[in-house]
Structures are given as C-alpha cells and as structure tokens.
Structure 1
Amino acid sequence: MSRRRRNPRAERRPLISRPPIELDIDALALDGRGVGHLDGKAVFVHGALPGERVRAALLGGRRRYDEAETIEILRASPRRVTPHCAHYGLCGGCSMQHLDAEMQVEAKQQALLDSLRRIGGVVPEKVLAPLAGPVWGYRRKARLGVRYVPQKGRVLIGFRERQGRVLADLAGCEVLLPAVGRRFAALAGLIERLSVRDALPQIEVVAGDEAICLVFRHLKPLSESDRECLRHFARESGFGVALQPGGSDTITPLWPESQPLSYAQPDFGTHVAFHPGDFIQVNAEINRRMVPLALDLLEITPGDRVLELFSGLGNFSLPLARRGARVTAVEGDEAMVARAAANAVANGLGDSIIHAVANLMAPPEGATWLRADYDKLLLDPPRAGAREILPYIGRLRPRRIVYVSCDPATLARDAGELVHGQGYRLTAAGVMDMFPHTAHVESMALFVR
C-alpha cells in the first residue's frame, strides 16, 4: 500500500463546508490543476497530478465542472516532486512546482498540440524539440506588489495569493534572479523607512547582463529624505534605482543618473539596449536559444527580404540583419521604434533595417511597407495574436513564416486561418519553456507556402 501524504498548505486554506471527495486524476489542465471526474462531471483539483488518487475539498462549482483543493494524496504519482519554494501553494506566481521539470515541459507541449488541433484544426508535420533551460533564478523582469500593513507594522513584497487579490506574505522568490529574489527583507525594510510607504504599490525588477534596476512606483511625491534613503540603498546594494510617479514614460533614474541596460546576443555579435519600461523576454537563456532557432526555421540567406511584425527593440531584426537579410521592422510603439533604430546604428546595421511605426491591430492600407515584396516573415505578437494582420499577410505571400507565440489559443486560431484560408502548411511547431513552474506556454511555429 502506498504511503499517504498530507498537504499542509492546502489544509491551511479555508474551504467551503462540504464533505471531502475522493477521485482519480486522469489528466493535467493547462493551468497545472489535475482533472478528474465525479458522477460524470469534471473536477479541477489544485495540487493533483495525473495517475494520482486524492482526497479533495470542493471549493465551488459551475454547470460544467467543479473546483477542488487537494487535502490528502492517497496514491502519489512518480512524477511528483517536493516544491522548492516554501510559499508554493499560497503564492500565485507558480502553479507547477509539484511536477518534475521534464513533465512540466511535456504538459506544455501537449497543451500546444491540443490547442492547434482543437481550435485551429491543424496538426504540425513535425514537433520541434522543446527549448528548456534553468528552472530557478531565471526571471530577469518582474513586477512585485508592495503593501504596507499597519496592523502588522511592516511591508509585504511579492505576488498575489493564488486565490484572491491579497498580496502574499513572502520571504523571497525562487524564480527571480537570486540577487533580487533573496533580498525581499532588505527591500521591505527600505520601504518601511520611507514617508510614502503607504503609497508605494509596486517595484519593477529589470535586469540586463551587467546591471539590475529597481523601479519604484510611487503615488505621492517623495521627500528629500526618501530620495537620500533610496540613494543610500542603491549605493550599498549595487542596484540602480529609478522612480515612476505615473505611466511608464515617467520612469527616471535616481541613482546612478545614467543606468544603461542591455543584453548580448553572442551567436550574432549584437547587443540590445533597453529602458526599464521596455518589453524584453524575461528568460535570458531561452531567448538566447530562441532567436537562432527562428532564423534557422526561416532558412535565412544573405539578401533575403524579411518583414518582421511586432519587432520591438530588435531582438530578432538585429540577428536577421547580421545574417545578411534586408529587414523591414514594424512596431506600434513609437518610442520603442526609436530605440530599435538606435540599436541598429549602434550595432553597425543601420543600413540593413528599415523601421516603421504602425498599429498592427488596425494596419494602414496605404503603408509603404505593405506594398513591398518579401521572401520571409517573422511574427512575434502579444497575447491577443495577429488576427488583424493576417489578411495582409495573405496578400504579401511570403514563402516562409515563423510565428513566435505567448498564447497557444491565439496561435491555434491564427494557424487555422493561415492553413485553411491562405494556403500555408504548418510544417513545424514546439514549445519554449520561458516560464518554468508556471502555466505560461510560449511556442514557435513554422508555416511554408
């Protein structure tokens, strides 16, 4: 008989007063919950894995499914591991730490393939080997919630609790860069000394290869004493400190006065400079492997005419140009386009990349870049996908398309249109584990006309 294990984190959580249930877990949902059935109705169970039998407390239900929390594991899966973080189960930042890392990637790969088939009606001819890297201390960009709690007389820093909008009381974070993830107590002590401790809701962590910047969002003006306290912390810790009184365009360095941030792309001899409020991929190792894969799938050769949409700061366009392509890079954020152009010049590629500003959710019919001829296309859209631009892609008819996605559902939807509506084949697709221990699924797909 298997040894029974109790889940103390689950037992600490108040549950609806209903009799516990026992059920076998058959599958894993995309968000990391186990899926079982009771009286023919699906039950999504937090903390349960396929192959396990669990005792669970019902949290509530809907017409088509119920939700539950694991109380006791009656038969454990061999793929179960002990969560590395003491706050797992309480903090909402991670949902898969109880699965071994290899199974997490397998689950994400299956979620991608299921979405492609179910939503898009497509199956890739080849499944790409997953891109995986370090699973701890990988996150170089994150927004930490901050809250001063008068009843406790101290500041909480971290992420929201898994269930609810309350900020979890965290001592640290195992997926953040250790330089920050192990400094929560020091950060809390710093904020407790500020006069605006009750009006400082967020710290944004942003790291380049050589420097880390902490952006303090504040809803009230800082006193000179506050500023000096922050400067002292910056000098002692080695972090750059910036202030943000409003939107991201209000971010200004406090100390040091100049805070250059950048990351290298060693395979191409390029560097990408960025500002603290800019979008960058949070996992440096996966990004370093993702870019060469995209270029290899596109089969870039010197002289190729490449259109890159949602081009950002040049994460793909700089390597594309270094490989000899003539690149047209289109992005909706004007300030980011200006920084991308500066990056091209700084890397000696200013003559190889044409930059354009355009709202790709409502493309302008008369745009010059829409009237050019292209051999290949790279898409890296936000979570909403690229539905609005797909009709234009159909007219441009590039031979090869690489689609980098952060949402399998919108990728599947767009893949269905490219395959069934525009005459492309989905020749390859696979996942990239950009966010280990979370349910986020990043993927890449290749379409060939």
Structure 2
Amino acid sequence: MSNRWRSSISRDREPKPVETEVLAWGDHGEGALHVGSKRLFVAGAIPGERISVLAAKPPKLLKVLEASETRRKPPCRYASDCGGCQLQHVAPAGQLAFKADRLTRFLHGLALDSLPDVEVISAEDSGYRRRARLAVSYRGGKLRVGFRQAKSNRIVDIDDCYNLRPSLNNALKAIKPLLAQQRAVSHIDLLALDDKVGVHLRLTEPLSADALAEFQALPSMALKISLESQWIVDTPWIVSSHGTEVTYHPGDFLQANDKINQEMVARALEWMALEEGDSVADFFSGLGNFSVPMAVKGAAVVGFEGSDAMVRRATEAVEVDISDRISYQSVDLFGTQLALNNFNKALLDPPRAGAQHLCEQLSKAQNVERLVYVSCDTSTLARDLTILVAGGFSIERLALADMFPNTVHSETIVLLTRT
C-alpha cells in the first residue's frame, strides 16, 4: 500500500468537529452529550449549550456556539492551565445547581420513596481558603510554585490564587523571592492563623544558615521547616476553634473554608436536637470541630479519632468548664468493633473512603435514635446511607455545603432518625 493511500485512510479516520447540544452534567463537572452512538464528557461545557466539539480521546471543546446563562469569564487568570479548579467558567448559581443535581442523582439510586429537598449552605466564591499546599519545582532552572495542571505533574506557576485568603496570597508573594534563591524546597503549606500566616517549608536538603535567617526574618509568619520528617524550625500554630485554642500541625485535618464550616456545624447541631442528658458519639472527631460545640450545648460527648497525636491535642485544648462532658479516644474506625450501647445520638464526619464498617455497626445499634452524617464524597455517602436505611434509619433532612467553590467538591449533611 502506498504512503499516499495510507495517509488518505488516516485522514478519514481522524475525528472531525461536530456541532451538538450539551444534555446534562457529568459527575466531575463536564458536559455530557452524544455524538452518534458515543456518550462523551467534555470539560468546559455546560448543559443547555450548543458547542463545537472534537470527538477525540479525550474530547475537546472547540467553540461555544450558544452559551448557557450560567457561563462566565473565569475570574482567575490561571484557570485555563491550573488544575486546582474545574468550574471557574460557571457562575456560582450554576455551580450549586451542578452539585445539587449530582447529589440527588447519587441518592436516588437508594430506591427510596422520596428524598427531602436539598438545603444549600453557600457563601462567597473567592478568598475563602484558609489553608493550602503548594508544590515547588526548580526544573530547567526556573522556579515554579503552584498547583498541578489537570491530569499532569506539571506545576503551574502562580503569584496568587483566586480562592486563597488575601493573607495567604500576601505570604506567597513574600516567600517566592527567597525560594528563587534556593533549590531545597519541595512543598509549602500555608495556614491562616488569627494574626499571622503559618508557613511550612518541606525541604529536600538542608538550608544554609543565611537562607534560614532570611526565612525567619519574614514578618507576620509562624514558620515551620522540616527535612525528612524532622523539624528544623517548629513554631507553634494556634488555631481558634469554637472558643478554644488548638495546636495545629501540617497534615492535621482542618476544613479549608472556615465560614462554611461554621454554618455547617451550626446546622448539624440544630439537627442533632441536643438535650441535657444526651450521650453522643462523634466519629472521626479530629480536633473537636463538632465535639466541642456539642459539649457546650450540654451533651456528654466521646470523640473517636484514628490519630493518637490529634487525640492528644484535642484533649489538651478542652476548656475546664466542659472537661467533665467531653473525652477523646484513639480507635481504628475502619476495623474495630465498638461498644455503642451507651450512646443515643451519633455524628460521623469520615474521609472520602466513607464509614462502611462503622455504619454496619450503627445500623444494628437500636439505642442510637438520631444520627448526623457529614460527607465529602457522594458515592461513598450513597453506599453508607443504603446500609443505614436498611438498618431502620430514615432520611429526614439533607443539605449541600459548598465548602469548595469553583471546584467539583462539596460537603453533604444528612439527618437520619430511627423509624
């Protein structure tokens, strides 16, 4: 076969632009559509739009022919490259519609007679993140500090982030000139404290004495520096939480959006309907995000957490006036059989993996009459709710907490009661 003939066949097989309508949302914020018999998910497309798309692998949005009312110009100048956000092109109302749609689609798979209406907890879509981890690269002799490009290890160099609090962006701008003189930093953790910014530099090799002094001289920063898990500088990070002060370490779980977290905690406490004499189990209790306010309300609370260090710091932070109503235990919540007979209410706030083992136990604990489940993953939430509903619980309230605007991530709060 001649090369000319092969070239002709190859051109015939190449995907060609197709004009079509976007029909629905995909689970990861893409637009779902059909091209012939193929169902495609196109990043950057919004349901209701008419677009030109290249049906390749992956499919590529070429042009928006008829735009959705919820489409906007991405407010972040790095949106086209940075993989930190997936929904910058969608206005806040459209983002919430996508997240609520995804939640109800997952939960309707439970085959329930009905679901309560989805309540929405939302706030500003910019300047909300109080913590972040940024990658650092010196590849090719050029400093890059930022988040990774979508589906790539390439670091997108940024000078600021639309989602970060102004204090964190200011800290980043102050740090970058010093980083440019080094080749020893792999990651930076940033955390907004009450009056400072916590900065953690993860090193790949020791800093010189002069470089260390320059970093320590930066104003309004609580500096931590580590090399191979050993602390070189370990300035305490103190975080105010529900009227108490907690010592926070990089890697500890802390909700990134403090405003939404406060509203989420308030909603959970309202749904728990706490009364004096209630005995509450708080699973995946962390540093006491829910435990402390529940104890303040008068309940007797036991927080169960898998990290010994977090249990120790949460215990140290307990104020004297509630110390007789709150305690913490270090437990493997993915494998341990727990004694649940003494609790009449429970709260779960697991990681993305969910709490299947724990839900199997709670479904059999007839004494637990009221349960609030806080989830960061809709698929594992649906799995765990199936277990709880089969065990005699019914879903009474349902709320979407927009913890991470401009991304596909969100939190869900569910109230379940014994039927």
| Structure 1 position 418 matched with structure 2 position 392 | no
How far apart are 1:400 and its partner, in Å? 0.5
Do the aligned residues in 2 keep the contact of 1:253 with 1:259 (CA within 8 Å)?
no
Q: CA deviation at 1:187?
A: 2.8
Q: CA deviation at 1:274?
A: 2.3
**Shift in Å, 1:270:** 4.3
d(CA) in 2 for partners of 1:33 and 1:394? 36
**In the alignment, what sits opposite 2:215?**
230
Of residues 125, 142, 160 in structure 2, which corresponds to 1:135?
Answer: 125
SS in 2 for 1:306: strand
What secondary structure is seen at the aligned counterpart in 2 of 1:95? coil
1:338 and 1:190, CA in 2 relative to 1: closer, same or farther beyond 3 A?
same
Find 1:239's aligned residue among 213, 216, 221. Answer: 221
**Which among 314, 317, 324 is matched to residue 291 of structure 2?**
317
Farther-moved stretch of structure 1 (154-163 vs 120-129) = 120-129
Computed over aligned residues only, the root mean square deviation of the Cα atoms, in angstroms, reads 1.9
Unaligned stretches of 5+ in structure 2? Answer: 1-12
* Matches of 2:263 and 2:199, distance apart in 1: 27
Counterpart of 1:12?
none
1:38 to 22, 35, 38: 35
Q: Does 1:348 align with 2:338?
A: no
Select the residue among 116, 121, 124 that pairs with 2:111: 121
Q: How does 1:5-404 map to 2 (within 5 A)?
A: 18-60=15-57, 67-118=58-109, 120-122=110-112, 125-150=115-140, 153-181=141-169, 184-194=172-182, 197=183, 199-232=184-217, 234-235=218-219, 238-247=220-229, 250-251=230-231, 253=233, 258-265=235-242, 269-344=243-318, 346=319, 348-363=321-336, 365=337, 370-397=339-366, 398-404=368-374
SS of 2:153's partner is coil
Kindly tell me: are residues 412 and 123 of structure 1, through their superposed partners in 2, closer, same or farther at Cα, counting changes over 3 Å? farther
Q: Which amino acid aligns with 1:167?
A: I
Once superposed, which parts of structure 1, at least 4 consecutive aligned residues long, lie more than 6 Å away?
A: none
Deviation at 1:259, TM superposition (A): 3.1
**Structure 1 equivalent of residue 7 of structure 2:** none
TM-aligned CA deviation for residue 51 of structure 1: 1.0
Separation in structure 2 between the aligned mates of residue 229 and residue 324 of structure 1, nearest angstrom: 49
Q: Equivalent residue for 1:3?
A: none
Which deviations, in whole Å up to 9, do the C-alpha atoms of 1:332-381 show, x marking residues without a partner? 1001001111121x363221112111000111x3x5xx154211000000
- Provide TM-score, normalisation by structure 2: 0.92
What do the CA deviations read for 1:406-436 (whole angstroms, capped 9, x no partner)?
Answer: 000000000011112x111011212100000
Measure the CA separation in 2 of the matches of 1:314 and 1:306.
13
Task: Map Cα deviations across residues 374-404 of structure 1 (whole Å, 9 max, x no partner).
Answer: 1100000010000011222133231011000
Q: Matches of 2:40 and 2:211 in 1, distance apart?
A: 50
In structure 2, what is the equivalent of residue 8 of structure 1? none
Does residue 409 (structure 1) correspond to residue 379 (structure 2)? The answer is: yes
Secondary structure at the aligned position of 1:403 is classed as strand
Report deviation, 1:263.
2.5
Distance in 2 of aligned mates of 1:411 and 1:321: 26
Separation of aligned partners in 1, 2:156 and 2:114: 41
SS at match of 1:401: strand
Letter in 2 for 1:157: V
Question: In structure 2, do the counterparts of structure 1 residues 340 and 20 end up closer, same or farther at CA, with 3 Å as the change threshold?
Answer: same
Which runs of 5 or more residues in structure 1 are unaligned? 1-15, 61-66
* SS at structure 2 position matched to 1:129: strand
Aligned-partner residue type, residue 241 of structure 1:
L
- Check whether the contact 1:122–1:416 (CA below 8 A) recurs between aligned residues: no
Return the alpha-carbon distance in structure 2 between the equivalents of residues 283 and 273 of structure 1. Answer: 18
The amino acid across from 2:223 in the alignment is V
- Alpha-carbon distance between aligned partners in 1 of 2:146 and 2:111, rounded to the nearest angstrom: 40
Residues 347 and 372 in structure 2, CA contact (< 8 A), matched pair in contact too? yes
| CA distance in structure 2 between the aligned counterparts of 1:77 and 1:108, rounded to whole angstroms | 17
Q: Among 395, 400, 408, which residue is 1:431 paired with?
A: 400
Q: Deviations over 1:240-274 (max 9, x none)?
A: 22112134xx45645xxx43421243xxx445442
Distance 1:223 1:131, change over 3 A: same
1:303 match: secondary structure = coil
**Pair 146,278 (structure 1): closer, same or farther in 2 beyond 3 Å:** same
1:444 aligned partner: 413
Cα distance, 1:312–1:103 mapped onto 2, change above 3 Å: same
Partners of 2:246 and 2:93 lie apart in 1 by: 31
| Number of residue-to-residue matches in the alignment | 405
How many Å separate the matches in 2 of 1:436 and 1:338? 33
TM-score normalized with structure 1 length: 0.86
For each residue in 1:138-178, what CA deviation from the matched residue of structure 2 results, as whole angstroms up to 9, or x when unmatched? 1111110110133xx43111111123221113232110112
| Distance in 2 of aligned mates of 1:408 and 1:435 | 14
Contact 1:215 1:251 in 2 (8 A): no
User: For 1:342 and 1:298, how far apart are their aligned partners in 2?
Assistant: 26
Structure 1 pair 205/183, CA: closer, same or farther in 2 (3 Å)?
A: closer
Q: 1:400 to 1:442 in 2, by over 3 A?
A: same
Q: Secondary structure at the match of 2:263?
A: helix
